[in-house]
Structure 1
């Protein structure tokens, strides 16, 4: 930390001073003009609570929402990668019908507001699929069991399992459009000469993709895919609009019950920042190691 500040020059200190003055002004304006009473000492209790009867700590409302956000992001990213890879390959297909269908899907999702897309997918696809598979009844049966610790570890509270699955499906379908474009760009970046060489030795189109194109394309698309995964985590906040109980939805519940508007939202922003910034630095380090090789 000391070495970091030793690199500062006088313009850096001026900018730092201006920023501190600005945030200080905002702080005192909120406290004075709005007559707002800060209650930061209560926030830790809403992250990790203490059960007085059982005398154990438990994940309270904000930590529950954070866990749901992490689960949704991980599962949705896997599905989005699968769907996006299929769409990316379809975009490069020699069949005009397949290529146009994939392009239509990608262009529609990339040029419609995310909120509209979320509602369309939820009411017309995700909710219909959950009702068809009768997942709500199945999840309630799991929730009544005593030995459901493994299920709760991977999916959280099982009574809310349909809501989790709805969020995963909706977010994966939305993000797959952007993943598909990344995969398409990676495939098309491979020189045509390599494809022609593969065909000249008798490889089929599938073998060409499997052994020649995709292995090289994967290395090129890993950095943009990592950035898209970070964007997916931030986009998961939109799922609060369809009552998926992730971090943003839980924060809304906390604000409504406690009136700690600024403390709750600043804490939530801090959670998102720590996760996204930590992942960005982790991916940057992996990228540097791969470049050095």
Structure 2
């Protein structure tokens, strides 16, 4: 009710335009494309009922959503770790370190993400998974009986190698942007404070730990939050390397049922709910 009272006539006009557009889209789809809407089938592909076991189970879309959440959390943690290292390297006093970090950042920022995903998947993550024997290890966990914790954290352990590959690829791509955010936060700290730290005998790492980074963290949290939301949307790219996240599962659903508009609109709705909810949470945290 409080929100409705705060709406201006312009807000109502925008809502009316959006509603009219949605109605027009539905009408055009039904009349021009001769498309028959079947929304009543979608809930069953989110949460299904197993008649033999007499229990509910997560169906295609909910399975994909769970993988998207898992890969987004893991990739964001790894991207932040790599991004902090890149940010420190970008502000290092060593010219070679700065040039190497800048080369990494500029390459990833100026190459299409689809190309980056394929390059890192075939040349880095896939050989790494094979070298570490993760596929054999994950299959052993999947066959064991006491794997409830592993399944809860990582999902189907038979798909664990794909999850690791997607996490590595996504984290490496996003770390370039996180690194630039960290660099900007470090450079936003006034030079006078760094000079004061050196004047009392602090070395570089003490200066960073006690003076620069505590102030930089406050500056980088808002853009990092936005980057995390962007990472969730970018996670759809890893469907190209057969990571069974939300977009991949939506493609499977469309191919098997021909629920084209219903499936993709539901997929978009899931992404919107996650990203909008996180944006509201981060706004509260910033306050």
TM range (shorter): over 0.9
The alpha-carbon distance between structure 1 residues 9 and 283, as it changes in their structure 2 partners (threshold 3 A), is: closer
Equivalent-residue separation in structure 2 for 1:4 and 1:213 (angstroms): 41
Q: What does residue 291 of structure 1 align with?
A: none
Deviation at 1:9, TM superposition (A): 4.2
Cα separation, 2, equivalents of 1:11 and 1:155: 46
Q: 1:103-252 counterparts in 2 under 5 A?
A: 103-252=102-251
Tell me the CA shift for residue 8 of structure 1. 3.9
Instruction: Spell out, residue by residue over 1:221-263, the C-alpha distance to the aligned partner (whole angstroms, 9 max, x if none).
Output: 0010000000000000000111110000000000000100011
SS in 2 for 1:268: helix
Name stretches of at least 5 consecutive residues in structure 1 with no aligned partner: 289-293
The DSSP-based 3-state class of the residue aligned with 2:243 is coil
The number of residues matched between the two structures is 287
Q: Deviations over 1:11-55 (max 9, x none)?
A: 443333332222211101111121111111111111111111111
1:4 aligns with 2:3: yes
SS of match in other structure, 2:66: helix
Distance, in Å, in 1 between the alignment partners of 2:284 and 2:184 is: 23
Q: Which runs of 5+ in 2 are unaligned?
A: none
* Aligned position for 2:60: 61
Report the counterpart of residue 276 of structure 1 in structure 2.
275
The 5 Å alignment of 1:37-116 reads: 37-116=36-115
Q: TM-score, normalised by structure 1?
A: 0.96
Q: Which residue is 1:36 aligned to?
A: 35
**Cα distance per residue 1:123-143 (max 9 Å; x no partner):** 100001001111111111110
- Which residue pairs with 2:264 in the alignment? 265
Once the two structures are superposed, what CA deviation does each residue of 1:102-145 show, in whole Å capped at 9, x if it has no partner?
Answer: 00000110111111111111010000100111111111111001
